[in-house]
Amino acid sequence: MADTQPDHGASFLEYSATIALVSTVAGAVLFSSASMGESVSNGIKRAIDCVVHIDRDCAVGSPEDGDAAAEDPSGAGPGNGDDDTLPVIDDGRAPGEYQIGSFNMAGGNADEYDPDTSAEALINSLEDRLPGVVAVQEACESDMDEVDSSMENYTTVFQQVEKVDSESGGRSGASCKEVDSPFGNALVVRDDMGFDTENEEVHELSPEDEVTEMRQMVCVTSETQQMAACTVHLTSGNGKEKDAIREEETAEVQRILAEEYGDYTVILGGDLNADPGSAATNNLYHEDYGDDAQGSLIDASGECGHELSSGCREGEGTLGSEKIDYVFVSDDVEVQGTHTGDPHHSDHDLVWSDVYIDPDS
């Protein structure tokens, strides 16, 4: 009689091969869903969501996706620390690991900004990635209000930009181009990081008699994490005069960070309107980068990660081929990777950086 017993060896190999195939596919699309409160792998949903997400970088799983969820069965996301009064957000990452970002939403650009989809796209991206901090420039307050009301575990901070009358020196609030809403800069922060969003600090950066728009840096702090998050947008335009203004602005940024946030871990995202080798960015880059760098920050959007050396300032272009949007961090932060997303409604790419901040430091 023929042996009718199952071939367990073959079955095991078939089973293993199937699991490996499924794991490979699922790992590429695994993401953390804030609306469902658990990690899900669903390629179809991921593909559909890419149509409306703020960026189209969906083909390959990001560094934050995948194995970290299995390694952290406690469900305690990074930033929760020992304060159990804060909401616990399972972002699928190990404690201390964050994704942070910076994005110019083009609210001041009538040709690029789409008021009908911009807030929804940002909300979808936040739900997908669950970042710790996103610095936003050229934001419309109406978009930030929608994000704030839609995202249960996030809070937004918005500060309207002020126009400066070149003759009288008077100030007036700026408005978005395509929607009746104040125009400015913003921060989107995850609540479990403990940022005090009721007491943001607004730091003016520009020489008042030389600009028609007062550029600013907006910051919030978390005493539980000993962390400061800031968003900044520098003067735009070409030529030596504009270069000199930006150089003054970044010198003021570095001074403020050193004097007012020197005891904090710093996250700074912004549109600097300056390339990585400029005199303006020299004021921010840590001196170990060389080439006249005289600042204290690490470029988390640079191509070398945490390596500080000459030639490591470059990275993916964020306005066409030019890199003018950045994520900087203080030197106590470990940079793990970076990538950009191609948004549907802005001329700027969104910058994402993956970092590790020692929760015990």
**At 325, which CATH number?**
3.60.10.10
Flag whether 55 is in a domain.
Answer: no
Residue 299 CA to residue 331 CA, distance in Å, equals: 10
Q: Total domain count for the chain?
A: 1
The reply to whether 82 falls in a domain is no
| Residue 20 CB burial class (10 angstroms; 0-12, 13-18, ≥19) | exposed
140 belongs to a structural domain: yes
DSSP 8-class letter at 3: -
- Compute the distance between CA of residue 171 and CA of residue 155 in angstroms, rounded to an integer: 28
CB 248 within 8 Å of CB 207:
yes
Looking at the domain assignment, is residue 160 inside a domain?
yes
Pairing of strands 30-33, 38-41: antiparallel
- The tens-digit pLDDT sequence of the chain (361 residues) is 444 444 444 443 343 444 343 344 344 333 333 333 333 333 444 444 444 445 544 443 343 333 333 333 333 333 333 444 556 688 889 999 999 999 999 876 656 667 777 888 889 889 999 999 999 999 999 999 999 999 999 999 999 999 998 788 899 999 998 789 999 999 999 999 999 999 999 999 999 889 989 999 999 999 999 999 999 999 999 999 999 999 999 999 999 999 999 999 999 999 999 999 999 999 999 999 998 999 999 999 988 887 887 788 877 777 777 888 999 999 999 999 988 887 777 778 889 999 999 988 7
Domain holding 282, by residue range, is 94-356
| Residue 213 · residue 162 · CB < 8 Å | yes
Point out which residues pair with 353 in neighbouring strands. 100, 338
| Contact (Cβ atoms closer than 8 angstroms) between residue 232 and residue 203 | no
Does 298 fall in a domain? yes
Question: 3-state DSSP: the chain helix, strand, coil percent, rounded to 5?
Answer: 25, 30, 45
In a domain, 143, yes or no: yes
In a domain, 213, yes or no: yes
Q: Is residue 79 in some structural domain?
A: no
The angle formed by the CA atoms of residues 143, 109 and 166, to the nearest 5 degrees, is 105
pTM of the model: 0.76
